[in-house]
């Protein structure tokens, strides 16, 4: 004989068990979702950290570049006298250049030497810096090319403040034949142009 099951008596426990199972499943699902959220948050934070770290390294590279290159270049320009805080007397600077050029040319093996130093011109177009330019023009009578090279080397080695730059130098013969016994005549004419630069920082 089969025992009759009283469904009314066990319905409530079955419902409670079913609800408990559903609740546990929901809790497990929520836990999984929360773990996924934590993992996603962790990965996002890692990516953000890597981005910040990469930006920091990039900024550090720029900082090192400025410190090691641009700052060194700035100090080099300042040490050469090209970059000055202020110019006491531009005319005095120009006359000093003229005197040093004149004294140097007198020591060189030249037949004739004509030279001129232009007025110093300022270029105020840059907001942070003003660049000053002075042109030096040489017209030299020489025996041979070696005299010109020696003269240029002597001028470029002058202990002057600023940057002296050889812009151009043209050499042309004055005669078709060279007589080695006549060393008092110029066989070549050299026309050279130099530029002398220095700059001052402007107050912002």
Paired residues of 84 in beta bridges: 200
Is 1 within a domain?
no
Q: What is the band of 139 on the pLDDT scale with cuts at 50, 70, 90?
A: very high
Is 55 within a domain?
yes
Residue 110 has pLDDT above 80, yes or no: yes
Please tell me the distance from the alpha carbon of residue 104 to that of residue 138, in angstroms, as a whole number: 12
pTM assigned to the model:
0.57
Residue 74 has pLDDT above 70, yes or no: no
Task: Look at residue 79 in the predicted model and tell me its pLDDT.
Answer: 60
Please tell me the distance from the alpha carbon of residue 31 to that of residue 185, in angstroms, as a whole number: 104
Give how many domains the chain has, as a whole number.
Answer: 2
Residues 74 and 133 both lie in one domain: no
Is 4 within a domain?
no
């Amino acid at each position: 004989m089969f025992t009759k099951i009283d469904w009314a008596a066990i319905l409530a426990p079955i419902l409670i068990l079913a609800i408990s199972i559903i609740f546990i499943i929901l809790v497990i699902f929520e836990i999984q979702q929360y773990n996924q959220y934590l993992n996603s948050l962790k990965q996002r934070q890692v990516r953000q950290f890597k981005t910040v770290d990469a930006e920091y390294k990039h900024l550090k590279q720029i900082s090192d570049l400025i410190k090691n290159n641009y700052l060194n270049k700035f100090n080099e320009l300042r040490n050469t006298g090209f970059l000055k805080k202020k110019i006491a007397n531009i005319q005095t600077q120009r006359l000093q250049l003229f005197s040093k050029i004149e004294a140097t040319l007198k020591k060189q093996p030249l037949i004739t030497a004509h030279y001129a130093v232009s007025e110093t011109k300022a270029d105020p177009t840059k907001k942070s810096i003003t660049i000053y330019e002075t042109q030096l023009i040489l017209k030299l009578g020489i025996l041979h090319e070696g005299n010109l090279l020696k003269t240029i080397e002597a001028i470029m080695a002058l202990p002057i403040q600023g940057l002296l730059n050889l812009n151009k130098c043209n050499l042309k013969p004055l005669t078709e034949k060279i007589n080695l016994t006549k060393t008092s005549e110029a066989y070549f004419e050299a026309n050279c142009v130099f530029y002398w630069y220095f700059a001052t920082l402007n107050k912002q």
